[in-house]
Amino acid sequence: MKQKVIGVVPPIITPIDEREHVDEKGLRLLIDHCIESGIHGIFVCGSNGECMALTQAERDRAIKIALDECAGRVPLIAGCMDSSTQRVIENIKRFEDMGGQTAVVTPVFYARHATQDETVQHFEEISKSTEADLMIYNIPSFTSQNLTADTVIRISKVDKVVGIKDTSGNFPSFIKLLNYFRDKDFQVLQGSTNLAVPSMLMGADGYVPSLAPLFPRAHINVYEYGRKKDIENAMKWGTIVDEICKIYPMAKSQTASTKYAMSKLGFVDKRVCRPTEKITEDEMARIDAYIKQMRPYM
């Protein structure tokens, strides 16, 4: 079943209506825009997709719509993370029933006692009970657990585990993973956009930038030049991507700033799931001015 997940794979937003139901038309248009722009894959219902804020029914609906719209044109990975092993297993089984191939799984959260060993066991139990490929998602700012490189290597030996999205920001640990997996069939994706250039130059399989749908050319160039080991051009476009990332803190909530920025595409709404604070008029004006400044790189 294994699919190759490489290149620029944005964690897309989930457009919603006033009832916080998935806006199917907006989501389909967003996915088509990504694919037509040359983006290499889609990550649906990740952190940027507000997966833990959506109801279970709407989360499943977003994944089903995304699978249908991608229709195999690019790889799709889906957030199946949750607060216990059994909840993750149930999420993945529904994903499998929809025809999904690669499930993204974090350590459990809310249970603050989670240990590295527990997370290894978490993946072992999931693998025994499901058929989908599993991608490790290391995002300690959300889970309160930072998976060490040694733990990731242990988990990688579990059947069906095919890769990692590492959003720890720990570059020495990331380099250790790149070195270990260099000649192995295991995908290593950088989740921290500010580390995209050195990660690509050092052999990462890709990276996962939230703003890529709005600025596809800049993000794809970082991947392409990095993959070619063209340091000068990778650094040039990496500097531009760093400038693009200044949009994130322009609202109190990064989700709000990202969704508003995406709304400038013209077919998705800026609406966020409660209780996330709505973006203010001043924040919107600041983002508008900045996007206008960065428009040559869209």
Do 23 and 54 meet the contact criterion of CB atoms below 8 Å apart? no
pLDDT at 113: 67
CA dist., res. 289 & res. 291, Å (int) = 6
pLDDT at 40: 98
pLDDT at 1: 55
Secondary-structure class of domain 7-228 per CATH: alpha beta
CA dist., res. 298 & res. 292, Å (int) = 10
pTM comes to 0.97
171, exposed or middle or buried, with CB in 10 Å at 0-12, 13-18, 19+? middle
pLDDT at 57: 98
Q: Mean pLDDT of residues grouped by 10 in the chain (298 residues)?
A: 91 98 98 98 98 97 98 98 97 98 95 86 98 98 95 98 98 98 97 98 98 98 98 98 98 97 98 97 98 92
Beta bridge partners of 103: 78, 134
DSSP sequence for 252-285: SSHHHHHHHHHHTTSSS-----TTSPPPPHHHHH
First to last CA, the chain: 35
What are the extents of the domains in the chain? 7-228
Chain segment 197-256, per-residue pLDDT in tens: 999 999 999 999 999 999 999 999 999 999 999 999 999 999 999 999 999 999 999 999
